[in-house]
């Protein structure tokens, strides 16, 4: 295993790969452009709280064809990046290239074997607490060891060779005859503390120290254990929940990788952890309500707000910005829904909602007295007093049961029967902005709200 390619320089790949590169000139890194630029300029730095800090300057590239063809690939990318990574690596694999996995989750090895063949894959579990301080700089706080194993369970010469590579650079590396079980045991820990640290917005200790959460932890682990047996025929110990709590005592003061990703605005691995348990539970008839709830909570907490032509954003002088879609507008009270506009669109089967319905939902700041309807491109707007909008404003959002077409001013169009089209008729509304006093208005001065 002369040539080693480390894929990714994050909290896992960066730490273990840097140690390999420190004493081995044949270690190279496949990196994303931003990290690549940082490592080219400053090197890859490990700042350790419990060991030696150092910087290495290995060969790096964003295209694996620009690096030596690997004998061993160490995968340090997140599970959700696996598909893209496989596409990159496929052209540079040799007949005997070995791929070592260090990802969370229990599907990585199967996915790789399906693509590249069983003979290439070695499973791995990393035990470490580290985080990305900035591109090319990894802060290391606790642990830093690896367990590896063959998917079929045998002890092989290549396992010994890989273990020796890591041990020679000071990384403890253990060989197991049951890597699937090791992956599922770590899955139990990950499914408990990764989402709980995000939900609690705190360290592992917060979950450990509240007695009310002990039954929650037990339930999460039992659900994971049941799915492990049903889906993969992997039996976990009856006291697995107690073991998870025991293992966590020396990690009390840490945040988790999911917490760090959430705080940094990066995607999380919730779909590969609790989300996977939930999906497999449904497939095999195993109830997983606790994991399902955590999956939903993390997705709600970490998801970015959608934007685009299918959404209206409400902001400005209100307590909390909101977004509405065609579906959410349709769910507003029936008393505020409008099914026809005979004076403006005679004979057309449209559906709209009175502005009053939106006003019932938002919480205005004290003193807010105007509202501006702005087009998606920001070029057109109409500002009304809140009373005018409440009395006359209608947002049209549907035509014949389908989204209101863009050629008619959709998907959301403001009309104001009773004030006249000239006063306020904004096509392709994208934002509704509350304000104190008259705000942006592109209409002729004589049509502005203050003069009507």
Query: What are the φ/ψ torsions at residue 295 (nearest 5 degrees)?
Result: -60, -45
pLDDT computed for residue 345 by the predictor? 75
Judgement on whether residues 237 and 377 belong to the same structural domain of the protein: no
* pLDDT category of residue 303 using cuts at 50, 70 and 90: confident
**Residue tagged 């008259």 (tokens):** 438
Is the per-residue pLDDT at 421 higher than 80?
no
Judgement on whether residues 7 and 82 belong to the same structural domain of the protein: yes
Higher-pLDDT residue of 343 and 277 is 277
The domain that contains 17 carries what CATH number?
A: 3.40.50.720
Tens digit of pLDDT for each residue in 102-151? Answer: 999 999 999 999 999 999 999 999 999 999 999 999 999 999 999 999 99
What pTM does this model have?
A: 0.76
Average pLDDT (415-432) is: 83
Judgement on whether residues 12 and 118 belong to the same structural domain of the protein: yes
Concatenated DSSP letters of 9-22: -STTHHHHHHHHHH
Domain boundary pick from 177, 210, 226: 177
pLDDT computed for residue 305 by the predictor? 59
Number of H helices, E strands in the chain: 15, 20
Judgement on whether residues 173 and 184 belong to the same structural domain of the protein: no
Judgement on whether residues 394 and 446 belong to the same structural domain of the protein: yes
Q: Please give the Cα distance from 274 to 163 (Å, whole number).
A: 30
Lowest mean pLDDT, pick from 78-82, 339-343, 436-440? 339-343
Judgement on whether residues 34 and 116 belong to the same structural domain of the protein: yes
For residues 199 and 298, the answer to whether their CB atoms sit within 8 Å is yes
pLDDT computed for residue 149 by the predictor? 96
Judgement on whether residues 217 and 138 belong to the same structural domain of the protein: no
Q: What does the angle CA 391 – CA 394 – CA 395 come to, to the nearest 5 degrees?
A: 150
Q: What does the angle CA 340 – CA 346 – CA 347 come to, to the nearest 5 degrees?
A: 80
Is the per-residue pLDDT at 425 higher than 70?
yes
Tens digit of pLDDT for each residue in 364-374? Answer: 999 999 999 99
Q: Please give the Cα distance from 97 to 65 (Å, whole number).
A: 15
The domain that contains 259 carries what CATH number?
A: 1.10.1040.10
Q: Where are the alpha helices (DSSP H) in 117-239?
A: 157-167, 179-200, 204-208, 214-232
Question: For all residues of the chain together, what is the average pLDDT?
Answer: 92
* pLDDT category of residue 424 using cuts at 50, 70 and 90: confident
pLDDT computed for residue 304 by the predictor? 62
The domain that contains 401 carries what CATH number?
A: 3.90.420.10
Judgement on whether residues 39 and 147 belong to the same structural domain of the protein: yes
Strands (E), 37-79: 44-48, 54-56, 60-61, 72-75
Average pLDDT (40-59) is: 96
Judgement on whether residues 282 and 339 belong to the same structural domain of the protein: no
pLDDT computed for residue 420 by the predictor? 65
- Domain of residue 353, residue span: 312-451
Total number of domains in the chain? 3
Residue length of the chain: 452
Q: Please give the Cα distance from 43 to 54 (Å, whole number).
A: 10
Judgement on whether residues 11 and 146 belong to the same structural domain of the protein: yes
Q: Please give the Cα distance from 227 to 277 (Å, whole number).
A: 6
pLDDT computed for residue 429 by the predictor? 94
Is the per-residue pLDDT at 448 higher than 70?
no
Express as a percent the part of the chain with pLDDT over 90: 83
Is the per-residue pLDDT at 339 higher than 90?
no
Q: Please give the Cα distance from 229 to 207 (Å, whole number).
A: 26
Other CB atoms closer than 10 Å to residue 65's CB: what's the count?
Answer: 9
* pLDDT category of residue 451 using cuts at 50, 70 and 90: very low
* 368 conformational bin, left if phi > 0, alpha if psi -120 to 50, beta if neither: beta
Tens digit of pLDDT for each residue in 210-259? Answer: 999 999 999 999 999 999 999 999 999 999 999 999 999 989 999 999 99
Is the per-residue pLDDT at 450 higher than 60?
no
Domain boundary pick from 304, 336, 362: 304
Judgement on whether residues 150 and 282 belong to the same structural domain of the protein: no
Express as a percent the part of the chain with pLDDT over 70: 96
Judgement on whether residues 2 and 117 belong to the same structural domain of the protein: yes
Tens digit of pLDDT for each residue in 259-269? Answer: 999 988 889 99
Domain boundary pick from 151, 177, 203: 177
Query: What are the φ/ψ torsions at residue 38 (nearest 5 degrees)?
Result: -65, -40
Average pLDDT (194-222) is: 96
pLDDT computed for residue 443 by the predictor? 81
């Amino acid at each position: 295993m002369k040539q080693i390619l480390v894929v990714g320089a994050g909290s896992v790949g960066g730490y273990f790969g840097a140690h390999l590169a420190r004493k081995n000139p044949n270690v190279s890194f496949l990196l994303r452009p931003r990290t690549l630029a940082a490592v080219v300029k400053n090197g890859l730095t490990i700042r350790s709280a419990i060991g030696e800090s150092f910087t290495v300057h290995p060969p790096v590239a964003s295209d694996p064809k620009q690096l030596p063809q690997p004998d061993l690939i160490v995968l340090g990318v997140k599970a959700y990046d696996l598909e893209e990574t496989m596409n990159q690596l496929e052209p540079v694999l040799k007949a005997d290239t070995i791929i070592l996995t260090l990802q969370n989750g229990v599907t990585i090895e199967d996915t790789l074997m399906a693509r590249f063949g069983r003979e290439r894959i070695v499973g791995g579990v990393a035990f470490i607490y580290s985080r990305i301080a900035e591109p090319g700089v990894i802060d290391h706080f606790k642990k830093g060891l690896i367990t590896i194993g063959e998917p079929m369970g045998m002890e092989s010469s290549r396992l010994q060779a890989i273990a020796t590579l890591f041990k020679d650079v000071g990384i403890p590396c253990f060989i197991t005859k049951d890597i699937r079980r090791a992956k599922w045991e770590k899955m139990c820990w990950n499914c408990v503390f990764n989402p709980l640290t995000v939900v609690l917005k705190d360290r592992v200790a917060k979950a450990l120290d509240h007695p009310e959460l002990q039954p929650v932890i037990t339930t999460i682990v039992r659900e994971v254990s049941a799915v492990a047996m049903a889906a993969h025929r992997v039996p976990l110990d009856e006291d697995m929940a107690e073991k998870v709590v025991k293992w966590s005592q020396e990690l009390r003061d840490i945040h988790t990788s999911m917490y760090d990703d959430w705080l940094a605005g990066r995607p999380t691995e919730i779909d590969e952890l609790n989300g996977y348990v939930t999906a497999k539970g449904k497939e095999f008839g195993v109830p997983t309500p606790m994991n399902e709830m955590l999956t939903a909570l993390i997705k709600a907490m970490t998801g970015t707000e959608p934007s685009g032509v299918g959404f209206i954003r409400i902001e400005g002088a209100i307590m909390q910005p909101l977004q509405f879609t065609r579906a959410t507008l349709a769910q507003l009270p029936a008393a505020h829904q409008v099914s026809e506009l005979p004076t403006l669109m005679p004979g057309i089967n449209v559906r709209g909602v009175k502005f009053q319905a939106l006003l019932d939902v938002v919480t205005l700041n004290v003193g807010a007295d105007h509202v501006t309807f702005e087009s998606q491109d920001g070029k057109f707007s109409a500002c009304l007093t809140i009373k005018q909008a409440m009395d006359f404003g209608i947002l049209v959002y549907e035509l014949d049961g389908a989204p209101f077409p863009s050629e008619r001013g959709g998907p959301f169009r403001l009309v104001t029967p009773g004030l006249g089209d000239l006063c306020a008729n904004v096509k392709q509304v994208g934002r509704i902005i509350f304000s104190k006093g008259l705000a942006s208005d592109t209409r002729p001065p004589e049509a502005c709200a203050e003069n009507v």
